[in-house]
Amino acid sequence: MSLPTKEISRVIQERFAAYESGDHARVMDVYTDDAAYWDTKCPARMQGRAALAKYLSGFLGNFDLRYAMLEEHRLEGRDAAIVLWECAVRRRLPAGGLGTDLVMQRGMTLLEVQDGLVSRDEAYMDLASLDPLLEQAAA
């Protein structure tokens, strides 16, 4: 438990870049096999890459994400950091391309790093603002 801050930042950068790519396999590659995941839409914490893969497949398939990382703070004595971010969210259209409606999200994510991968990912945000896009995706 004493990774250089630069290494923690590298893993975090890759985590957000993977989400922006929309590439499901690339996203899964940033997590440890037993990664713990939670966001404000999850009723309970998820454990393990398989559960996470299932949960994220719909989300990544339906939405295009563009992050601006505003702040990154390492947590003292831990291989972890919090990241404050803004994200522009647009719906991916079934026929390809992106919808015109855009929702801006702000949030804070807690990330723990182990062996060059993310072992804990907890994202706190107000996903209520995404409901119109979620309804469009479900229609």
Partner 1 sequence: MLTDQEIFSATRRCIDMWNTLDLDATLDTYTEDVTYCDPKTGKRIMGKANLRRYLRKFFERWDMQFVVTEEYRLEGQDGQAVLWNCEIKLREGGPSRTVRGMDICMVRGNQLSRDEAYMETSVLSELMSMKA
Q: Which residues bind partner 1 (CB under 8 A)?
A: 5, 38, 40-41, 73-78, 80, 82, 84, 106-108, 110, 122, 124-128, 131
Q: Could you tell me the smallest distance in angstroms from the CB atom of residue 126 to partner 1?
A: 4
Smaller CB separation from partner 1, 69 or 125: 125
Calpha distance 126→81 (Å, rounded): 20
Smaller CB separation from partner 1, 9 or 26: 9
Smaller CB separation from partner 1, 28 or 110: 110
CA angle 43, 127, 121 (to 5 degrees): 60
Calpha distance 75→59 (Å, rounded): 29
CA angle 62, 66, 69 (to 5 degrees): 135
Tokens standing for 13? 């950068």
Calpha distance 79→5 (Å, rounded): 8
Q: Do the bridges between strand 46-47 and strand 98-114 make them parallel or antiparallel, or are there none, so unpaired?
A: unpaired
Smaller CB separation from partner 1, 56 or 80: 80
Q: Could you tell me the smallest distance in angstroms from the CB atom of residue 26 to partner 1?
A: 26
Smaller CB separation from partner 1, 51 or 108: 108
Q: Could you tell me the smallest distance in angstroms from the CB atom of residue 114 to partner 1?
A: 16
Q: Could you tell me the smallest distance in angstroms from the CB atom of residue 75 to partner 1?
A: 4
Q: Could you tell me the smallest distance in angstroms from the CB atom of residue 73 to partner 1?
A: 4
Tokens standing for 68? 């601006």
> What's at 13, amino acid-wise?
Q
